[in-house]
Chains A and B, each alone.
Chain A
Amino acid sequence: MSGPPPTDALHSAVLAQIQHVAAQPVPAPHGLAARTVIRLRHLRAGDDGPVVIDRTERGRTQVSGRVAASLAVGAAAGLPDLLAVTGSAGPAQIRLQVSLRYGVDGPATLAAARESIRTALTGTLGPDVPTVVLDLVDVHRGG
């Protein structure tokens, strides 16, 4: 018998190709570690993590919950019937606590506000906007 057993010879040929490719670097995306560190800082600060994905770089840069919540609060602040807004965000949801102007139709105003906020977020972050939940916490008589 001459030469290696067929399986060993076959696997050696496969391994030779693998090792050739394995010796070539696989560059990580630019700034991956730095982005990870930023995300960890948000996490340590009590932020629950990414809720939104935009399309700016390869398509999947993650935006932290804090950023998403602040964008949503900013969008809500521009709506005339919402008088006070605070917000937070979890992995899949933005939650805003809102106060309404007295006398408005509550359900209809909240539904319209939710759509306005989603539209505003979509314009900034792209189509993958997480669920927006509005909690009515107060009604203001004046203002």
Chain B
Amino acid sequence: MTSAGLRPSSTRPAPHRSDRARAGAAGSVAILDPMAGVDAEVGQPNAQARESALVAAAKRGDAAAFDHLVHLHSPTMYRTAFRIVGSGDADDVVQEAWISTWHRIADFREEARLSTYLYRVTVNTALMQLRRARRMHPLPVDETLPDDSERQPEPSMLRTLSADALHEAVRGLPVEQRLAVVLRDFEGLAYAEAAAILDISVPALKSRLHRGRNNLAHTMSDWK
């Protein structure tokens, strides 16, 4: 038993409050809000209903509603892209992801949450970006690094990494492991949601997490 025992799959970690707060603040930018007034009448913000209304309006071609969603979700998408591709390309990934979403929003079926859908688009766009970079650099880091996923240093050997160093270590992981770690361990998504975003089974996700965490542990133990 490995990673599954560390955190129950049914328990979602606490959201990153600072990011949620910033997302909410960004949403208040002067953009026409078709739901203005509704929340005031209710007295309490109903984020889910509000978002559903925005999505419905965007699906009808309401650009202002779509732009509101852009302000609302871009921080989360940027954070995810940043951890996959780095700061150099993350904003491009976010923009391309939104353009893709604009083209396809009419086909979005609300069986899944919009955030899940946007995670998927962001991940796919980030993967395309990585492939473009790979074409420019025929010997990608992913394939030249030895896979240390089966080596296990002692927990006491781990060094504490700075945020920059940890992000760098994550971006040094093979892509499949990187995506699993970002969605599950950084974003705190449930196993089922992360697996759905990556279009893999939960056991496959757990396997990637296991190897990814082992590789990170190795990096942490060797960090200079």
Asked if A112 lies at the interface with its beta carbon under 8 angstroms from chain B, I say no
- Decide yes or no whether A124 CB sits under 8 A from chain B: no
**Minimal beta-carbon separation of B60 from chain A (angstroms):** 14
Interface of A is mostly: helix
**By the criterion CB–CB under 8 Å, are B95 and A36 in contact?**
yes
How distant is A132 from chain B, measured CB to nearest CB, in Å?
A: 23
Given A5-B1, A13-B158, are A18 and B70 neighbors across the interface (CB < 8 Å)?
no
Docked pose: A9 CA to B5 CA in angstroms: 10
Among residues of B, the one whose C-beta sits closest to the C-beta of A50 is B95
Contact B186 A18 (CB under 8 A): yes
Q: Which residues 160-187 in B have Cβ within 8 Å of A in the complex?
A: 160-161, 163, 166-167, 181, 185-187
Q: Is B22 an interface residue (CB 8 A)?
A: yes
Complex: A28 Cα to B19 Cα, angstroms: 10
Query: Which residues of chain B are within 8 angstroms of A36 by Cβ–Cβ distance?
Result: 70, 74, 94-95, 98
User: In the complex, what distance in Å separates the CA atom of A85 from the CA atom of B211?
Assistant: 59
Tell me what chain B mostly uses at the interface: helix, strand, loop, or mixed.
helix
Within 8 A of B (CB), among A20-59: 21-29, 32-37, 39-41, 43-44, 49, 58
Counting CB contacts under 8 A, is B191 at the interface?
no
We find that the number of chain B residues with CB closer than 8 angstroms to chain A is: 55
Q: How far is the CA of A11 from the CA of B98 in the complex (A)?
A: 35
Is B49 an interface residue when CB atoms closer than 8 A count as contact?
A: no
CA distance A33 to B63 in the complex (A): 14
How many chain-A residues does the 8 Å CB contact rule pick out? Answer: 38
Chain A CB count within 10 A is highest, among B19, B66, B91, B187, for B91
B91 touching A28 by the CB < 8 A rule? yes
Evaluate contact between A21 and B78: CB separation under 8 angstroms.
no
The answer to whether B19 touches A26, judged by C-beta atoms less than 8 angstroms apart, is yes
Confirm or deny: B37 has a beta carbon within 8 angstroms of a beta carbon on chain A.
no
If A26-B19, A32-B78 touch, does A37 touch B155 (CB 8 Å cutoff)?
no
Contact A43 B78 (CB under 8 A): no
Which of chain B's residues have a CB closer than 8 A to the CB of A22? 16, 185-188
**Contact assessment for A8 and B31 in the assembled complex, using a CB-CB cutoff below 8 Å:** no
Report A18 CB to chain B, min CB distance, Å: 5
Contact pick for B74, options A11, A21, A24, A33, CB 8 Å: A33
Question: In whole angstroms, what is the CA distance A37 to B19 when docked?
Answer: 20
Mark contacts of B4-39 with chain A using CB atoms, 8 A cut-off: 1 yes-contact digit, 0 otherwise.
011100000100101100100010010100000000
The 3 A-B pairs at the shortest CB distance, nearest first, are namely A28-B78, A33-B74, A13-B155
CB-defined A-B contacts under 8 Å, sample of 7: A9-B155, A12-B155, A25-B19, A26-B78, A33-B71, A36-B95, A41-B63
